Amino acid sequence: MIIQSFLSISAGASITGGRARPWYSADVSAHFDIPQDSDQLQHILAQLVYSELPKTKLNIGSQASDIYASFILEEAISALVDRGLLTWTLKAGSNAIVSRVGLGFRGNRRPREIRGRFSLSRFAYCRVVDDEVVLESPEASSRLVVHDEELLALIFSFRAPFDIFDLRLAEGEGSVRLGIADLLIDSGMATRCEEAVQYWEFHDRLFHTWSRFGPVMLPYGRIALELASEADPQLISDQVVLELAKPGASDEPSINEFSKVLATRESLRTHGTSELSRDSLGLFLHRSAVHSTDKRHPHGRRPYPSAGACFPLSIYVLVARCIDLPSGLYLYDPVGHQLVVRRQDDEMLRRAIVAYAHLGNVHPENFQVALLLTARLERIRHYRRVAYANALKEAGAVYQTMYLVATAMKLAPCALGGGNSTLLSTVAALGIDEPPIGEFLLGTRSDR
């Protein structure tokens, strides 16, 4: 069976006045500008408005007249596929057999590199979406829509290592195997054998990617939905109830003070005009996360619990406005109780500050400090299937500890429900086995 690759505008996507609307969202915030630096790309997009184009007409790939220009153009097209504007489809005659549909990937796309041996990612899986069989992977920038289900066995045969050049010599241009292998590599569904991810379990990697903002731009966050306001049905019954003790004036003063801190804990997104000071930040971090030792804990302890006392979490401190502390990204060293400079005063840092202010619904000019939690999975890999779950539980304990310390210090704390994993991984140069898992804003209390 001889196949051809066709490029088209994704169903539901559109191009208007140099701006693209991806297929997955009508929200204006998801629209993006189309690069204007390539006349050839603009010519292709103008044609795609009217009809799909076969790859042979695009002057890209091994048959291109200018290999370097072909590479640049193919990368630009792939980026627009990742962003959800364009779709590659393999066809046998007039029948579509497999399509590559972008999921709105917003990371720094690595240049296409096809040398070496690849294999289907161990994270790849099949499911049904809108009555179609799709192949997805938390490592991939796109999903493959499998129109011909008889090809599933062929697709999963790529779990065995393969070399695309050997495959091209053996199969020849136009073969189904070669076409699918190209789609697997382009989408990130197939990865280099030597780049296999070590410490992630399948379910953890999947949950991390799909529950956070960043690598995938599909609709994310809260939607307008009317929730039921009925009381808990378990409490509306004729069952016998027993009264419980409540705090009172006769309690120890220290307990009453602690109860007051618990009762007044709240999320405060609005910061004051006066800035957080370096000393206040230092005291906050010491009370919340310092690593100390004593006779009972010779290997160390922290103010929050951790499975096996492994303490896999790291705290990156993103500073926008802080007295006596330059704007920058710092790594908190809980053993030495000090900040290690990771990045200062550059464009990437400024982008990160604006992005985290936006995630927290804080105006960038009012944004002060964000504490960004990551999990070093190698420290808890011996927990295997529950390693990532333990890290998330620890992050919850850190949140509550930070809330209580900030409340006692009369600061403005606010934990975020999600964050941009791709952005922090880029800014802090994190490896795949140190995923961002938590975000916590901190500042002075509003003057109002």
Taking alpha carbons only, the member of 124, 122, 118, 79 closest to residue 102 is 79
Tell whether the torsion through CA atoms of 239, 243, 244 and 247 is positive or negative: positive
Q: What is the pLDDT along the chain (448 residues), one digit of tens a residue?
A: 688 999 999 998 988 877 888 888 766 667 778 877 778 888 888 899 899 999 888 766 555 556 667 777 888 888 889 888 999 999 998 999 999 999 887 655 555 567 788 999 999 999 999 999 999 998 888 899 999 999 999 999 999 999 988 988 898 888 899 999 999 998 889 988 866 667 888 899 888 888 887 666 666 666 666 655 555 656 666 778 888 888 776 777 778 888 899 999 999 988 888 999 999 999 999 999 999 998 898 889 999 999 999 999 999 999 999 999 999 999 999 999 999 999 988 888 998 999 888 888 888 888 999 999 999 999 998 988 899 999 999 999 999 999 999 999 999 999 998 888 888 888 999 988 899 999 999 999 987 6
> CA 187, 191, 196, 200: dihedral to nearest 10 degrees?
20
Domains in the chain with CATH codes:
4-196 (no CATH), 253-444 (3.40.109.10)
68: phi then psi, degrees, rounded to nearest 5: -65, -45
Q: CB-based contacts of 241: which residues, under 8 Å, 6+ apart?
A: none
Helix %, strand %, coil % of the chain (to 5) = 35, 25, 40
Taking alpha carbons only, the member of 439, 426, 312, 423 closest to residue 378 is 312
Tell whether the torsion through CA atoms of 298, 303, 304 and 310 is positive or negative: negative
Taking alpha carbons only, the member of 367, 309, 317, 362 closest to residue 344 is 317
For the chain, what is the radius of gyration of the CA atoms?
26
Q: Is-above-0.85 flag for pTM?
A: no
